[in-house]
Amino acid sequence: MAISIITTTHDAYDKFLKRAIDSVLNQSFQDWELIIVKDGGKNIEKTLPKDERIRYIHAKKFGAHPRPKNIGTLAAKYDLIAYLDADNAFRKDHLMALYKEMKPGVDVVYGDHMNIKLDGTQTPADKHDFSLSLLSKKPFIDTNDVLCRKSAILAVGGWDESLKYFADYNLWVRMAKNGSQFKRVPLIITDYYVHGENNVNKSQRKYQELIKKGIDPQSPQFQDLLNGFSIQNCKLWPDKTLVGKRPKLKVAIFTLTYNRLSYTQETFLTMRETTKYPFDHFVLDQGSNDGTWNWLCDYEKKYNLKIFTENKNLGISRGSNYLLDKIGSDYDIIIKVDNDIRFLTDSWLEKIVDIFERSKGIIISPYIEGLIDHPGGWPRIRDGYIGEEYIGVVQHLGGACIAAPYEVYRGFRWIDNDFLHGEQDWVFSQHILEGGRVLAYMENVRVEHMFDTSSSANPENKADKEYLRKRKVEKVTRYAE
């Protein structure tokens, strides 16, 4: 597989360009194309080496490097992309070292670099194996040290063109929050030349300016001002990018029904009354005999339902797997909603979508009212904000109303012959935690669990008592056939 190398330059950097190009020509890995993007200024195409692998794009002056990098990224022929700023240079085995470690499932491979001052002093840059926690605290991956998949870059909208500094840091943060996998090669593969024109010195000057203003360097505000963006709250897709406008996330909701028509009616009605965000609703009726199926058919068009039926109760595991297979891979967010949930908070779905526009590393549930054993859900182990939403992090999420990015379900299904109702929520929560993601409740988004099936529940309604009696029998007998 070939590699597209993107080199950005402008008038002040043209004097360094020959060294950068020579470092590409001298690579031990030779299956590449070099795209040189000039940010306005003087046309230098005639001064470039005559090599069919070198392409030149003279772009309209933008005044910062993210736009030229987006231009080069969009023009790249190959899915593997390396970046080389005009004032730096690759070491001989730069591309080979990164290419060898670009395995399936890895989106970004990066190495280390040597800082070289004007007087020739050389100092190895800080070296860190990849850590999402560390990335949330400081930048440690440089533009010139990476090999990335173009598809992973475009999946987050490319480079944020509103930034002058730390645009590479911003890109890695957004890619990581989108689920991209990073891997470090512990080799010095790049020569990074430190001089008065580059962003290292510019960012250091900005750092000193903030110190003089009396802003605490340990505060989140300091980091946000220094970076030009909030690590916690920046959206995965930037507002300003040549790649295009932020795509509207597609949402699929799935619900299993089994009698209890009045609960289903309340769930479906309040779900729609409290949001204007579009979604497709997949429903499997599992042998109801109280008119539920006829009601679903009557409301199929009005509620935009995609309905399916079985003549017996398949159980939660098998029924959920059935609907997940029907949903497929055409959605960004999948939300499981039980048919005994009353939605209480306006714009509940808009708030969920906003969180997933900022991170795919968190799986969320609204605050669940009406629970007896665990009011509001499991005990919180920490809390914080994502955007404007206050969340409480937990080690377990109930399955009454749970939202997750599609990627969470890729390769995951419950065991079909598991309890009809039992450990599915625990199994799913463990799957989430093992994948390195976070479970959390949205504390200010409320739904009500109208019928509590917990061990402490003591329903007064005769129909509810009969429903519980039947479920207990089904849990014991499971799949006797």
Query: Looking at the chain, how many residues does it have?
Result: 481
Q: What is the dihedral of CA 12, 15, 21, 27, to 10 degrees?
A: -110
CA distance 231 to 234: 6
- CATH architecture of the domain formed by 251-477: Alpha-Beta Complex (3.90)
Handedness of CA 62, 65, 66, 71 (dihedral sign): positive
pLDDT greater than 80 at residue 175: yes
Which residue spans of the chain are classified as CATH 3.90.550.10? 3-200, 251-477
Distance, first Cα to last Cα, the chain: 53
| Portion of the chain with pLDDT greater than 70, in percent | 89
Query: What pLDDT score was predicted for residue 375?
Result: 81
Mean pLDDT of 168-178: 96
pLDDT greater than 70 at residue 478: no
pLDDT greater than 70 at residue 86: yes
Q: Who wins on pLDDT, 391 or 423? A: 391
Q: Who wins on pLDDT, 253 or 212? A: 253
pLDDT greater than 50 at residue 479: no
Query: What pLDDT score was predicted for residue 468?
Result: 52
Q: Who wins on pLDDT, 171 or 458? A: 171
Residue with tokens 């309905």: 307
Q: pLDDT category, 421, cuts 50, 70, 90?
A: low
The 10s digit of each residue's pLDDT in 307-364 is 999 998 888 999 999 999 999 999 999 999 999 999 999 999 999 999 999 999 999 9
Nearest of 286, 332, 327 to residue 306 by alpha carbon: 327
Query: What pLDDT score was predicted for residue 214?
Result: 79
Query: What pLDDT score was predicted for residue 470?
Result: 55
pLDDT greater than 90 at residue 371: no
Q: Who wins on pLDDT, 102 or 230? A: 102
The 10s digit of each residue's pLDDT in 58-82 is 999 999 999 999 999 999 999 999 9
Kind and range of the H or E run holding 316: helix 316-327
Out of 216-230, 398-412, 439-453, which region has the weakest mean confidence (pLDDT)?
216-230
pLDDT greater than 70 at residue 105: yes
Query: What pLDDT score was predicted for residue 476?
Result: 45
Mean pLDDT of 398-422: 86
Task: Name the average pLDDT for the chain.
Answer: 90
Residue with tokens 């708030």: 351
pLDDT greater than 60 at residue 461: no
Nearest of 2, 448, 11 to residue 197 by alpha carbon: 11
pLDDT greater than 90 at residue 206: no
Burial class of residue 151, CB neighbours in 10 A (0-12, 13-18, 19+): exposed
β-pair type (362-369, 438-449)? parallel
CA distance 287 to 338: 16
Q: Who wins on pLDDT, 390 or 208? A: 390
User: What superfamily would CATH give domain 3-200?
Assistant: Spore Coat Polysaccharide Biosynthesis Protein SpsA; Chain A (3.90.550.10)
